[in-house]
Amino acid sequence: MQSFTYDYPVKNYFGAGAVEQALAAEMPRMGSVVMLAYGGGSVKRAGVYDKVVEALKGAGKTVVDFAGIMPNPTYEKCLEGAALARHEHVDFVLAVGGGSVFDCCKVISAQAKLSEDIDHYEHVQGKVPTEFIPMGCIVTLSGTGAEQNNGAVITNEATHVKGPFVGALADWAALDPALTLTVPHAQFMSGAYDTLSHCMESFFGTPREANVTDDMNLAIQRNVIRNMRVIAADDQNLEARSELVYDSAMAENGMLKIGKVTDFQAHMIQHQYGAYTHTNHGFGLAVIHPALYRHLAPEAPAQFARWAREVWGATAEDDLAAAREGIDALQAFTAEMGLPTTFAEMESDASDDTLRKVADTAILTGGCVKKLERDEIFQILTECR
Ligand code: NZQ
Ligand code: ZN
């Protein structure tokens, strides 16, 4: 196991009434001007927006509205939010939504305190922001676990890069699973698959031998799979949604990365596929994982076999055969959950030209069992068609 320091400052309010509880406890520390940031309108239709505005205004806050954060948020949108936050002297950013709203707000909160352009600051100068407008998250869609960490994934439309930024870490997060009941079935399953993907990507790093972090990880994977099956049969099952909301948080709060160098190669390929096609994150992962793992399993058969046996009940004695059983089970599960297994099912662009650009620009990760060549990534992507 690697040496580590683990510090976890995000306060989580979980369960029925979490939003009211969080606001009551946190509002005294939120300053007087609160930016209320959200997406395309689901929060208004579900009534969350009115409830939050009423609480903020009741506490005497000035509310600065920042609407229209799109799925796969753009760098332009982050800059727009930061300019507004500066202009209105915002004291606190309250992000209401899913991963896209949280990620955009993490960067808004950092950029508002920075005199330089944050893209240049982080990606050219190699620096990391240290000052932020404090931030809180109200989760209406689970899966990314983005409310639990300071990483943001932002699409730069000009350069076709969907890449990582270091942004603010929320002071607190409110997770009331009932708020996810209005999320369309396919979107909720996409998020749940994203959680499973985060677990797998954390598992397939180093060390590759059994360890306590991975044992917790495998338990969470089994939990995600079990509860996705419940939701597949009974979409509004609140108990299963609750489990999946907590799984989502557990997969990205750092616990499953303790003592590990993680993989995240599937994510890096999906992010670039998303940058060129503007497609759904979880759907892309569902398509890419099995194809990628068929290429990786021969490099670490024992590690893949352990995952296949403990998560999918693979029975083959030979490690590589068991690994392949697990990958087949993953793909069959994807189809069983109604998630896409090919780019064709996603109805997304899979031309040679696009796949070549994705292959040539995807970040190569250090924790991956194999340093992939660009041609092999292109080959993997063609197998996703
Ligand atoms: O925009 P609105 O109208 O709010 O609708 C949203 C959006 O269309 C809708 N939605 C959210 N809550 C809802 C709801 N609809 C009905 N009822 C509700 N309660 O869901 C749609 C998708 O929202 P989005 O936030 O885009 O989805 P998700 O949470 O899956 O986030 C995806 C983004 O997060 C990034 C992805 O790359 C992608 O850009 N990720 C962030 C990570 C992180 N920071 O840790 C990790 C992930 O690996 C991921 O890369
Ligand atoms: Zn993800």
103 Cβ below 6 A of ligand 1: yes
For ligand 2, the distance from its centroid to the CA atom of residue 271, given in whole angstroms, is: 9
Asked if 26 and 124 sit in the same domain, the reply is yes
Token pair in block for residue 339: 């998630």
Q: Which amino acid does the sequence have at 241?
A: R
C-alpha–C-alpha distance, residues 254 and 247, integer Å: 12
Mean pLDDT of 278-302: 98
Tell whether 105 is covered by a domain.
yes
| % of the chain exceeding 90 in pLDDT | 98
Q: What pLDDT, in 10s, does the model give residues 175-222?
A: 999 999 999 999 999 999 999 999 999 999 999 999 999 999 999 999
**3-class secondary structure per residue, the chain:** CCCCCCCCCCEEEECCCHHHHHHHHHHHHCCCEEEEECCCCHHHHCCHHHHHHHHHHHCCCEEEEECCCCCCCEHHHHHHHHHHHHHCCCCEEEEEECHHHHHHHHHHHHHCCCCCCHHHHHHCCCCCCCCCCCEEEEECCCCCCHHHCCEEEEEECCCCEEEEEECCCCCEEEECHHHHHHCCHHHHHHHHHHHHHHHHHHHCCECCCCCHHHHHHHHHHHHHHHHHHHHHHCCCCHHHHHHHHHHHHHHHCCHHHCCCECCCHHHHHHHHHHHHHCCCHHHHHHHHHHHHHHHHHHHCHHHHHHHHHHHHCCCCCCHHHHHHHHHHHHHHHHHHCCCCCCHHHHCCCCCHHHHHHHHHHCCCCCCCCCCCCHHHHHHHHHHCC
Q: What pLDDT, in 10s, does the model give residues 229-281?
A: 999 999 999 999 999 999 999 999 999 999 999 999 999 999 999 999 999 99
Asked if 169 and 193 sit in the same domain, the reply is no
Ligand 1 atom at shortest distance from the alpha carbon of 43: 4
182 Cβ below 6 A of ligand 1: yes
- Report the candidate in 230, 126, 116, 236 with the shortest Cα–Cα distance to residue 183: 236
142 Cβ below 6 A of ligand 1: no
Token pair in block for residue 15: 């369960």
- Ligand closest to Cα of 70 equals 1
Angle between helix 319-336 and helix 301-312 axes, rounded to 10 deg:
50
Ligand 1 atom at shortest distance from the alpha carbon of 198: 48
State the burial class of residue 172 (Cβ atoms within 10 Å of its Cβ: 0-12, 13-18, 19+).
Answer: buried
Mean pLDDT of 109-132: 97
Asked if 114 and 228 sit in the same domain, the reply is no
Angle between helix 281-296 and helix 265-277 axes, rounded to 10 deg:
140
Ligand 1 atom at shortest distance from the alpha carbon of 182: 17
Residue 88 predicted with pLDDT over 90? yes
For ligand 1, the distance from its centroid to the CA atom of residue 71, given in whole angstroms, is: 6
* Number of domain units in the chain: 2
For ligand 1, the distance from its centroid to the CA atom of residue 143, given in whole angstroms, is: 8
Tell whether 2 is covered by a domain.
no
| Domain stop point among 158, 179, 200 | 179
- CA quadruple 210, 212, 218, 219: dihedral, nearest 10: 140
Take atom 45 of ligand 1 and give the residue whose Cα is closest.
Answer: 146
Tell whether 73 is covered by a domain.
yes
257 Cβ below 6 A of ligand 1: no
pLDDT value, residue 1: 79
Token pair in block for residue 333: 């599960």
- Ligand closest to Cα of 146 equals 1
Take atom 47 of ligand 1 and give the residue whose Cα is closest.
Answer: 144
Q: What pLDDT, in 10s, does the model give residues 44-86?
A: 999 999 999 999 999 999 999 999 999 999 999 999 999 999 9
Tell whether 327 is covered by a domain.
yes
152 Cβ below 6 A of ligand 1: yes
Mean pLDDT of 127-154: 98
253 Cβ below 6 A of ligand 1: no
177 Cβ below 6 A of ligand 1: no
Domain CATH code at residue 301: 1.20.1090.10
For ligand 1, the distance from its centroid to the CA atom of residue 34, given in whole angstroms, is: 22
205 Cβ below 6 A of ligand 1: no
Structural domain boundaries enclosing 105: 11-179
| Domain stop point among 153, 179, 205 | 179
Asked if 126 and 195 sit in the same domain, the reply is no
Q: What pLDDT, in 10s, does the model give residues 328-365?
A: 999 999 999 999 999 999 999 999 999 999 999 999 99
Asked if 104 and 32 sit in the same domain, the reply is yes
Tell whether 360 is covered by a domain.
yes
Asked if 110 and 217 sit in the same domain, the reply is no
C-beta neighbour count of 270 within 10 angstroms: 29
pLDDT value, residue 2: 84
| Residues, the chain | 385
Asked if 139 and 20 sit in the same domain, the reply is yes
- Report the candidate in 326, 303, 305, 327 with the shortest Cα–Cα distance to residue 317: 305
From 51, 187, 285, mutation site for ligand 1 pocket: most ligand atoms within 8 A of C-beta: 187
Asked if 141 and 276 sit in the same domain, the reply is no
